[in-house]
Amino acid sequence: MKLNETISTSRPYVIAGPCSAETEEQVIEICTQIAGRGLANALRAGIWKPRTRPDSFEGVGEEALPWLVTAGKMTGLPTTTEVANKTHVELALKAGIDILWIGARTTVNPFAVQEIADALKGISIPVMIKNPVNPDVELWLGAFERMEKAGITDLVAIHRGFSVYKHDKYRNVPNWELPIALKERIPDLPIICDPSHITGNRELLLEVSQKAMDLNFDGLMIETHPRPDEAWSDAAQQVTAEGLEQILRNLVLRSKDVQHDVLAELEKMRSMTAALDDRIFFLLAERMKISEEVGRFKRSNNITILQQEHWAKIINNRLNSADDNDLSAKFIRQIMDAIHQESIRHQEKVMNK
């Protein structure tokens, strides 16, 4: 059975193991602990680590491949590691790694993805692709298309969040709407969440894992280490096998299927929501008609479209009312920005006639 088929029947499909393979003893120790507790469907370990700074630990390299393969044979679990170029692919395949994954720093580079795709032509192996570091669904989608053109059809997505500068909570912001958008484009594609890289903090792993399950993700990739605080890379986001077990035990798994006895009530609420949406779009259309009138007035009086002080006053008033309406300030900001941009478009339409 293909990996993407196995994942769909094993929710949540769990991939666990250390961020980096440090020593043979460390890899065997944690992998046997994970398998002994029945915590994972597959084992992971970073062999090559793409690091931001050149003096950081960049992985043991080729020497560590047999350690992971041995752990897989000892436990009877498939193994996976990250590959970033043709050489990595060739070495991983030769060593007997079962599943490959393409990391976020590689997905962002179409040349690198194509090199990997070319190296895999004619080879049947599952490939998992992490989202690019920047929030670009088309770039992520393109990586899958390159694999498919090379004949690789056993594909899985990994959502690991998106890079920002000094976020107050996450190492990589989840931007959940992007993996949802990818799923809209490829409905049958399994998606695994990587809460370790999203959070960068073991204390938040359960929260993000639960969010992923509530959004009907298919699995989790969680970095697990025998002594996390001593890890050579990403120590703060790794957990022990016991910590992984606690996370999985505390997950609430909900069904995507709706039972017949509650379907009628759910459809009733959905109809009410749809009716409100219709009203919202009608009111937005009416608002844009007024925006066009404003544009004509500005044209007649030689006034610029953007009135920065007026806009600042409007947005501040709306943001101040967020709590009163039980809406998040982020949502208010996104909605108002979208309305403002559409209003400018309508004003430009009549200004340039």
Q: Map out the domains of the chain as residue ranges.
A: 3-250, 260-351
Least confident residue range of 16-25, 169-178, 215-224, 303-312: 303-312
CATH of domain 260-351: 1.20.59.10
Looking at domain 3-250, does it have CATH number 3.20.20.70? yes
Query: Per-residue pLDDT averaged across 243-252, rounded?
Result: 98
Least confident residue range of 49-63, 134-148, 308-322: 49-63
Whole-number pLDDT of residue 353 = 75
**Pick from 72, 15, 25, 14: nearest CA to 230:** 25
Distance of alpha carbon 223 from alpha carbon 43, whole angstroms? 10
Confidence of residue 54 (pLDDT cuts 50, 70, 90): confident
Q: Judge whether residue 106 has pLDDT over 90.
A: yes
Distance of alpha carbon 210 from alpha carbon 206, whole angstroms? 6
Give the torsion sign (CA, 266, 257, 211, 203): positive
Say if strands 162-163 and 172-173 run parallel, antiparallel, or are unpaired: antiparallel
**Pick from 121, 24, 27: nearest CA to 80:** 27
Same fold, 3-250 and 260-351: no
Buried b (16+ CB within 10 A) or exposed e, 3-42: bbebbeeebbbbbbbbbbbbebebbbbbbbbbbeeebbbb
Q: Judge whether residue 34 has pLDDT over 90.
A: yes
- What is the rounded average pLDDT for all residues in the chain? 95
Q: Judge whether residue 238 has pLDDT over 90.
A: yes
